[in-house]
A and B are shown apart, each in its own frame.
Chain A
Amino acid sequence: MIRKEFLHVWRDPRTLYLAIGMPAVLTLLFGYAITMDIVHIPFGVLDQDHTAQSRELVSHFGQTRYFTLVAATQDEQEMGRLLERGKTKLFLVIPPGYAKKLARGQASPVQVLVDGSDSNQGVVALGYARAIAQAATRDLFLEGAKRAGLAGLEQRMPPLEPRMVALFNPELKSQVFVVPGLIAVIMMMMGTMLTALTVSREWERGTMEQLLVTPARPLEIVLGKTAPYFALGLLEMVSVILVGMVFFQVPFRGSHLLVLGFSSLFLLTALGVGLLISITARNQQLATQLSFLVSMLPSMILSGFMFPVASMPRIIQAITVVVPAKYFITALRGILLKGNGLPDLWVEGLALLLFAAIITFLCARRFRTRLG
């Protein structure tokens, strides 16, 4: 019995692939992409002090691998924009008189603004910021004290807590952060997997062959097969948002129409991928495996759903460029939590449009009412 089973496993390439290939892929993916270390957080600084000390503070932040300085501005509005658009996840605001107060041994407040829409990152970023700011300010303070000839001041050091404000999601609730990602994952599942399954089921049963012999045109068949799943996908989006709003206080600060627009584009892509899979995999088993590998896995791990993209190794980051879910989740978070409009999200919009167009084109070319 055992020998026979070994023979079965050896002869079936699919089983081999599952047993060896999948674990390897998963390990690599999970090892590199899923990182609990949040690093390379993009941050900006609004330095109103313009002293050597304030610049020192900034460089303390920038020199660690946790933060990367990407913007410096004097304009509060621009700071708001940068945070809203997600170009910076954290902003350091150094008020005028920072260095002077330090020199006099007084409490010298510094403000840290954190983008709370990404609550995982937000919490961690705040933690880092607090630690770095404390250490930096303490060093600067001591230096200043030494220069002023004041000794023994360690005991009398004023509290160095920077003032922290988490924007957009003040309580840094993880549900708020998770809900947009969840919508994307469910949509991918519904759109891709179910579409792939339904078409390959028809192949298995023989009804697809029957359909091909009828005068039904390819477009009719495709529309017929995918329309219900499109409707279901939109319905799912609405219900998840409603549940999120009612039970988890997820805000809806942006335009409903925009959400609908982005969702439709993403859904179109998901359905198209499902269709392509079903054209390749003419039986349900293969269709399921392929859907999971190609759509669910990247959408969950590489899209920024749970794990921030900026913290992943460069190679993996490059791969995330072709994960549609990434753009959708960014857009959804932006619209729901930050009230982003189209000008803020034009990159995401363009990307999703491009994906939808390419997938539709591929489907049109490959779905023919002929077998060979």
Chain B
Amino acid sequence: MEAVRAENLSKRFGSFWAVRGITFAVQEGEIFGFLGPNGAGKSTTIRMLCGILAPSGGKGLVAGYDVGREPEKVKSALGYMSQKFSLYDDLTVEENIEFYSGIYRLSPKVQAERTAWVLAMAGLAGREKSLPRELSGGWKQRLALGCAILHEPRILFLDEPTAGVDPVSRRRFWDLIATLSEQGTTVFVTTHYMDEAEHCHRLALINQGELVALGSPRELKHSLSPEATLEDVFVSLTRDQAIPNPKSKI
């Protein structure tokens, strides 16, 4: 069963093509990684798939719904965590959870259950009345994740979820992702960090708006050489973005 499908997805801003002809499919329960340098089009692609940016061309299907034509249905079926963590700094942890519960129209019983679950998962039990600005990166990150999955969506989109978070918290976060995946949630994640890419079932490499590689981490590494690391793969495919050697004659 396909959870997410992109067919020739494209987006143009004026005369600039941010994303061009991207095609891939993500199976249910997969952890799918989206890698690429800054400005490659990762966030644009995610936004299209989440239904908040209309595609200029091509088609996107999430949970069977067309992102261009039925964005509202798409939004109800997915959970999203943005780069900036999107928590309200002047609302307490509790109030943030309460707010998002309301948005997803959880019944009081479900809300109570899920609130307890999120607090436990994030390790914030006992700190319900803290403000997010008082929390360090790791806590905020887990809280943001919690708010994104309050309604137990089948598909989860994470845009650079571990940016600026310490390695221990990152590891803990990926354990959570793995658990979710085992329970059947499809996780679509963008990241810069190569070591995290290893945790994904499959990867898509984006460069300058185009898909340049698609496959499992092992496949991608082996396509280059037996000892290659993902970083090597990444660098080799995005070579034109590398800093030119000042000594070479171009």
B103 touching A207, Cβ below 8 Å: no
Closest partner residue, chain B, to A220 (CB atom): B103
Q: Quick one: which of A214-243 are within 8 Å of B by CB?
A: 214-216
Contact with A along B200-243 (1 / 0, CB 8 A): 00000000000000000000000000000000000000000000
User: Cβ of A369 < 8 Å from any Cβ of B?
Assistant: yes
Closest partner residue, chain B, to A369 (CB atom): B52
A212, B53: Cα distance in complex, Å: 10
Contact A215/B87 with A210-B80, A370-B53, A372-B54 known, Cβ cut-off 8 Å: no
User: Cβ of A152 < 8 Å from any Cβ of B?
Assistant: no
Stretch at the interface among B26-34, B68-76, B109-117, B179-187: B68-76
A206 touching B76, Cβ below 8 Å: no
Q: Quick one: which of A334-372 are within 8 Å of B by CB?
A: 369-372
A221, B113: Cα distance in complex, Å: 26
Q: From A206, A211, A213, A216, give the contact of B83 (CB < 8 A).
A: A206
Closest partner residue, chain B, to A205 (CB atom): B84
B13 touching A213, Cβ below 8 Å: no
Contact A209/B52 with A214-B75, A214-B104, A215-B76 known, Cβ cut-off 8 Å: yes
Instruction: Name the distance in Å between A28's Cβ and chain B's nearest Cβ.
Output: 34
A210, B86: Cα distance in complex, Å: 6
A356, B87: Cα distance in complex, Å: 33
Q: For residue A370, which residues in chain B have a CB less than 8 angstroms away from its CB?
A: 51-54, 71
Closest partner residue, chain A, to B144 (CB atom): A210
Q: For residue B87, which residues in chain A have a CB less than 8 angstroms away from its CB?
A: 207
Q: Quick one: which of A195-210 are within 8 Å of B by CB?
A: 205-207, 209-210
A372 touching B13, Cβ below 8 Å: yes
User: Cβ of B192 < 8 Å from any Cβ of A?
Assistant: no
Q: For residue A205, which residues in chain B have a CB less than 8 angstroms away from its CB?
A: 84, 86, 88-89
Contact A213/B104 with A205-B84, A205-B89, A206-B84 known, Cβ cut-off 8 Å: no
Q: For residue B82, which residues in chain A have a CB less than 8 angstroms away from its CB?
A: 206, 209-210, 213
Contact A215/B88 with A209-B52, A210-B80 known, Cβ cut-off 8 Å: no
* 22 A–B contacts from the bound complex (CB under 8 Å): A205-B88, A205-B89, A206-B82, A206-B86, A207-B84, A207-B86, A209-B82, A209-B86, A210-B80, A210-B82, A211-B103, A213-B50, A213-B51, A213-B52, A213-B80, A215-B72, A215-B75, A215-B104, A215-B105, A369-B52, A370-B52, A372-B54
